[in-house]
Amino acid sequence: MATITKARVRPDRAKSQPRPAGPTFNRARYIKLIENALPIPPVTEADNERLIAIMMEIDDRGENGEISAEETAFSELLTIVIQDFEDRHYQLPKVPPHEMLQYLAEERGLKHKDLAAIIGNKGSTTEILAGRRKIPAATAKRLAAEFKVPVDMLL
């Protein structure tokens, strides 16, 4: 990783990383954003909230098309750092696969017959939705592709 010192990167320590595409990307401006915000991985909720506020300010301006390529890249960096903190600190409870399937179907307005077309038959669909039968791996893959979710949510 590059060493950052007063608005300059020491390339002797920088690993070869692809730069964001586009001729208008200003590396010095990007480094200045990092220096000002110090996006150190958050340890506390207050640290995380500070990074969220910075990201939201950039994103709000982005809705009006008023952000630079550097700010877009920086917002993406903040998203990764914030997501990592939240993944470690806010574990979602495991939801039984049949309840997840019910939720996903309801959100899309799908009926029993719609799920049966994906699962293969009405009887199996009824058993799965009632939680009396596990979702087979091949069926879970089809459902995951249909709902665009990770297959492990349905296993």
Domains along the chain with CATH numbers: 3-89 (no CATH), 97-154 (1.10.260.40)
pLDDT tens readout for residues 82-116: 999 998 998 777 899 999 999 999 999 999 999 99
Least confident window among 27-36, 43-52, 86-95: 86-95
| 23 or 120, which is more confident | 120
pLDDT of residue 91: 78
Residue 118 pLDDT more than 50? yes
Long-range contacts, stretch 104-113, CB < 8 angstroms, 24+ apart: 104/143, 104/147, 104/149, 108/147
Name the pairing type of β-strands 8-10 and 3-5.
antiparallel
Q: What is the mean pLDDT of residues 110-135?
A: 94
Separation between Cα atoms, residue 51 and residue 57, nearest integer Å: 10
Local confidence band at 21 (pLDDT 50, 70, 90 cut-offs): low
Main-chain dihedrals φ then ψ at residue 147, nearest 5 degrees: -90, -5
What pTM did the predictor assign? 0.52
What confidence category does residue 14 fall into, taking pLDDT thresholds of 50, 70 and 90?
very low
pLDDT on residue 22: 55
What whole-number percentage of the chain has pLDDT above 70?
Answer: 85
- Alpha-carbon distance 130 to 19, whole Å? 51
